[in-house]
Chains A and B, each alone.
Chain A
Amino acid sequence: MLRSPPSPAPASIPVTAPRAPASMHGLEALIRQAQTGDEAAFEALFRRHRGDVTRLVFRLLGPTPEVDDVVQDVFVHVYRSLPSFRGDAKFSTWLYRLTTNVVRMHLRRARSRPRFADVEVPEATAPEGAFGDGPETATERNERLAALRRVIDTLPEKKRTVLVLHDLQGLPAKEIAAIVEAPVLTVRTRLFYARKALYSALTAEPALASLVDAMAGTLRGRPEAREDDGGAGGRPPRGDGGAR
């Protein structure tokens, strides 16, 4: 149940090396320079982190045409807030915190916006041969993932954020705690209950019924290596038996 951080998949966002001025070495210097208003340094920061931010926004929002706009919003906020970054937390943690906040506000605005009809959005597709699991078609896979997305979207905001950051983005519980500004124990609790709710919802999702039934057919579990943070969310917090 516990996952290691995702291995770098073939990136469809082209990432180029930051065009940092020759005198700058490392992220810290880049940040310091960007804080003084150096546009080239900010551009370098943008290029360096755009891929990570896009991936996180994509995983939090799902496949929607708004991903790119939200990523832009994130960096507008980065630009505004950068002077207040003191380096007390890792820059990536700070950036992820900002990203989750911007996504949260985006979702809230979207909820309050009138909806007239369901608009079909382009689905992101997996790279060819990424799974190597037989002759299934990309369509079937996309249907399954769309069903997973539907189920994830039913989770309350806090639980959904933690689940996406941990299970999809592959961040350890400690870093998630810093991002969502909650104790690690709270993160693990949210993760446990998010998964618990998901398991229950998956059994009720018609598009996944055959998958769930097939998986239920095999009795023996498959032990997984615990690699990321020593148990973030995989098991309920101590004292919570998890039996409901």
Chain B
Amino acid sequence: MSGEGHAPKTAALVAYLEGVLTPEGARRLESHLAGCGTCARALGAMRAYDALVDEARAIEPPAARSDAAAWEALRARLPRRRLGLDGRVAAWAVGAAGVAAAVAFLALAGAPGRAPRSGADPVGDRFTVPERPAPALPAPADVEVTAWSGEVRVDGEPLADHGPRLAEGDRLTTGPGAALHAAIATADGGDNWAAGPTGWALGPDADVALASARVGELILTVERGALTVAAGALGDDAYVGVRAGRYTVSVEGTRFLVSREREDGEVRVVVAEGVVRIHDPGRASPIRVGPGEVWSSRAGRIPRPIAAPEVEALATPWLPEGVPGDGTAAFTLPQTRGVVSWELGGAHFDAAGDVRVRLAPARFEPEGIELAALDRFGRRRLERVPLAGDPLPTAAFEPRAPAEGRGVLTVEQIRPVVRRGQRGLRRCYERWARSTGREAPIELRLRLKVGRRGDVVDATVVGDGVPVPPPLGGCVAQAARGWLFPLPEGGPVRLEVPVRFGPGSRR
């Protein structure tokens, strides 16, 4: 038969099999099938599939055991205490928008206390009422320590004895000068909750509990010390959160910093990009802190730009992209005059002592491993440190710096949203013109970041040549944050909208 070299028209064949073609259409198709081997075989495959599915449907799974035996086996596996509704539901309360990389830095100082184990309410605080019911995605996530130095314990057991695998409910403590990096290996690029790597780093003298480590949910409870969290692009229904005292900080795809003063317990949140929500049991709704904003538990929103040390703290302390970790190296950081910390691929080690790190074998050279030594002025120099023994092969793992997905919105999708928003922008200009008595034409550029859910997660205003009056710029940015775009394909989108104000001008 002929017909080789052209692809069968599946839709036409389906319509033919379903009998929905017109008599004339069916005749034409049949005449084509008579001379086209490819299409005839495709039709045969469709019919074969129908027959096979009928057979497969009639098959029942073999009975492995009786209901009673299955129940007894299941009963033995059930947790003794049901998970507290508060913690579990609150964990899902905020479906993370899943926009981008997120980094949280938690510097806490408080009385050390026993972090609750999984199975009980992970913290004693009350949480906000869930905004939507929990989806059922509670499979445990694979959590592994990827690098550590100094004294690190898991539930009181030295990490070296415990092994790098962590589980929900584990409590991690670090000694003076110790550091730890851990990550969740659930990234698969599909519709899983985290399309990118998600992990955290512990500073010295820290006490942190892994309250929940499940697919779709990562919750860390900080009792004491400093914690940095990085989340990859989060999917819908995913949740990454950190609990600290009465506050719960949930990630919506952003970079932010949370700190707690040692003296008076003041909590500060600094958002570099994106949005975070702060859940305070004393308030009915969460506090939403947007990009470029600083919030304090004492003073509320603070109108000041982000300070340099905060920006520095927001730098991602993560192993850089392209450093797969399928080997473990052990080495000893030497006491070196003038060196206050060491850096390897974004991981920081503040003290001299034993370090283990997971890297690709290609990074292990016979003469040792190269690290950056930093002095107290932040100056760097490269030092080669000999390895202690041969690198040990371990399971493949790829810690990477958080990466932000790039999505697509077409002009046709953007234009109507901007058009609808023009009225709000004009109101900003008119209000500003009334209050200042000026009617000068002003041109500006509105920079937007549209999240995976089509909401504006970041809006900033820059002048087009001349600075924009802050009240006008703030009003415009605020108005734009309420815009809702169609769902972008592939991830968050950044776009820029030129805006021209002036007497009589439309935009």
Contacts and interface: CB of A to CB of B under 8 A. Distances in A.
A binds B: yes
A27 interface: no
B299 interface: no
A139 interface: no
Interface string B225-243: 0000000000011000000
Nearest to B190: A157
A15 B67 contact: yes
Contacts of A67: 61, 64
B411 interface: no
Nearest to A86: B133
Contacts of A13: 60-61, 63, 67
B57 A1 contact: no
Interface stretch (B16-24, B327-335, B431-439, B478-486): B16-24
B302 interface: no
Main secondary structure of the interface of B (DSSP, over half): helix
Nearest to A236: B11
Contacts of B132: 88
Contacts of A98: 136-138
Nearest to A83: B85
A80 B83 contact: yes
Contact of B43 (A72, A148, A216): A216
B497 interface: no
Interface in B9-67: 9-12, 14-20, 26, 30, 33-34, 40-53, 55-67
| Max count, chain B CB within 10 A of own CB: residue among A58, A75, A221 | A221
B50 A43 contact: no
A92 interface: no
A154 interface: no
A234 B16 CA distance: 12
Nearest to B60: A12
A203 B45 contact: yes
Interface string B58-81: 111111111100110111011100
B61 A235 contact: no
Nearest to B46: A199
Nearest to A36: B82
B82 A181 contact: no
B349 interface: no
Nearest to A195: B49
B392 to A, nearest CB: 17
Interface string A94-122: 11011001100100100000000000001
Interface residues of A, number: 100
B79 A80 contact: yes
A22 interface: no
B465 interface: no
B249 to A, nearest CB: 21
B48 A215 contact: yes
Contact of A199 (B10, B53, B139): B10
B92 interface: yes
B58 A83 contact: no
Given A37-B82, A221-B16, A242-B12, A215 B56 contact: no
B7 interface: yes
A126 interface: yes
A39 to B, nearest CB: 8
A31 interface: no
Contact of A80 (B48, B52, B57, B138): B138
B151 to A, nearest CB: 31
A49 to B, nearest CB: 11
B389 interface: no
A68 B191 contact: no
B77 A72 contact: yes
B74 A75 contact: yes
B188 interface: yes
A126 B46 CA distance: 22
B491 to A, nearest CB: 17
B323 interface: no
Contacts of B215: 101, 105
B89 interface: yes
Nearest to B88: A84
B17 A167 contact: no
Nearest to A156: B190
B64 A68 contact: yes
B5 interface: no
Nearest to B30: A219
Contacts of A198: 45, 49
A54 B65 CA distance: 12
A94 B136 contact: yes
Interface string B173-217: 000000000000000101100000000000000000000000100
B303 interface: no
B53 A12 contact: no
Nearest to B73: A72
Contacts of B113: none
Given A47-B67, A215-B43, A216-B43, A235 B48 contact: no
A71 B77 CA distance: 12
B188 A108 contact: yes
Nearest to A152: B56
Contacts of B14: 1, 234-236, 242
A238 B176 CA distance: 64
Contacts of B134: 81, 84-85
A150 to B, nearest CB: 12
B438 to A, nearest CB: 49
Nearest to A105: B139
B305 interface: no
18 contacts: A9-B57, A37-B82, A67-B64, A71-B70, A81-B88, A84-B89, A105-B215, A124-B62, A148-B52, A158-B191, A196-B10, A202-B48, A215-B47, A219-B34, A222-B47, A223-B18, A223-B19, A244-B10
Given A195-B46, A217-B44, A221-B47, 19 more contacts: A10-B60, A12-B61, A59-B56, A72-B77, A76-B77, A80-B138, A81-B138, A124-B59, A124-B62, A131-B55, A168-B53, A168-B56, A192-B10, A196-B10, A208-B48, A211-B51, A212-B45, A218-B47, A222-B17
* In the complex, the 3 A-B pairs of residues with the closest C-beta atoms, listed nearest first: A242-B11, A223-B19, A216-B44
